[in-house]
Structures are given as C-alpha cells and as structure tokens.
Structure 1
C-alpha cells in the first residue's frame, strides 16, 4: 500500500557559496604572486653585491651609495606592496581583485628590471 499523504522531502539548501573554477584560479594565481614576491624580497636585494668590485675612483652607477640603497630597498618595498595586492586580489571577486592580481607581478618585474639595470650599469 502506497501512502499518498506522506509529506514530500524538503529541498536541500546549501547556503555556502560554491567554489568555481575562477575562484580556484584566482587563489592559485595569488599564491604564485605571493611566492614571486617572497623570492623577490629575499634575493633581489643581493644585487647590491654587484658593488663588491668597486674601487675608490670607480664611476659605475652601482658604486654610489644612493644607487646601492635603491637596489637594496626597491625590491623589498615592491615585494611588500605586491604581497598586499595579491591578498586583495585573492579576497575580491570583482574588477579590483583582478586588477590587483595583474598589477602585482608587473610591479615585481619592474623592480627586478630597475634593480638589474642599476646593478649592471
């Protein structure tokens, strides 16, 4: 005997937002940028060691104290700002998040290019 009066099952509601492929990609990209920022902050300041061969009358740009400070400090500052941008990019799904994730590696590459140019000049 079939009971036609039995209540139907309640619909299952999942209140948690689903994780989509774009969310996973955004977080993966943010983690890559954080890793790149870490490498930049740790190793790019070592470009100051290009001044080891400087003598007293050396006219190369890396031999000045101001250039050495720029080469040592620029990558650390860029890595800090890029890490903040990566966190903002991972936290936001809107255009600000995408822009932050795109700006962070550009900032890191720019700091490497400037530091290498100053260290090699």
Structure 2
C-alpha cells in the first residue's frame, strides 16, 4: 500500500473545489457552480455545437481532399475512405453524412457543389 500523502490536499480538492457526496465538483453538479442552473441553450445552438464537434472529430481522422475530376476510380477510393470515417463516427443522419463528406471538397468538386446548391 502506498504511503499517505501528507503534504497535499485530499484527493479531489487539489484544485480548490470541494467535492460533493458523490465525488462530483460543484461545476458538474446539475445546479452548476454557485448553485446557479446551467445556461439553457436553444436547439439551434445545441445543433451548431454538435455539428462543430462532429466536424472537428472528422477532420482529426484526416480524410482525403476531393478535387473532383473524371476518374471514377479516384472518386470511388475517396468515397470509400470518407464512408469509413463517417461510419467510425456512427453518423446516422443522411444530411449530416453529406455535410461531412462534402466538407473536404476542393476545386472542381467545390464548384460543382455550389452549382448544385444553387438549383
């Protein structure tokens, strides 16, 4: 058994935050820090934050950029890779899948997407 820590604060109190009965800090308590309820975000704000987090995670997977072009094998390889990344993120919503897949469009592919969106 390791020796007791005599020169340090008890575990969970190193940061100066008191620990509650269940081991949670006041900041993680449902009422928030200082007994105030956590801020309420609108559905739009929640959705935006969720999508930004998803994009950030997707980009960390380093998906290949897609420039477009006429080579179906390159397009198919790119699609397979992006599909694998999206599956790893367990995305089920088709519009979110499309948003992630088209996030790395460049050059001709980006121009094509703008033209399609304008229709």
Judging by fraction of residues, say which structure has more helix. Answer: 1
Given the two structures, how large is their TM-score scaled by the length of structure 1? 0.23
Given the two structures, how large is their TM-score scaled by the length of structure 2? 0.23
Between structure 1 and structure 2, the one with the greater Rg is 1
Relative contact order higher in (CA < 8 Å, ≥ 6 apart):
1
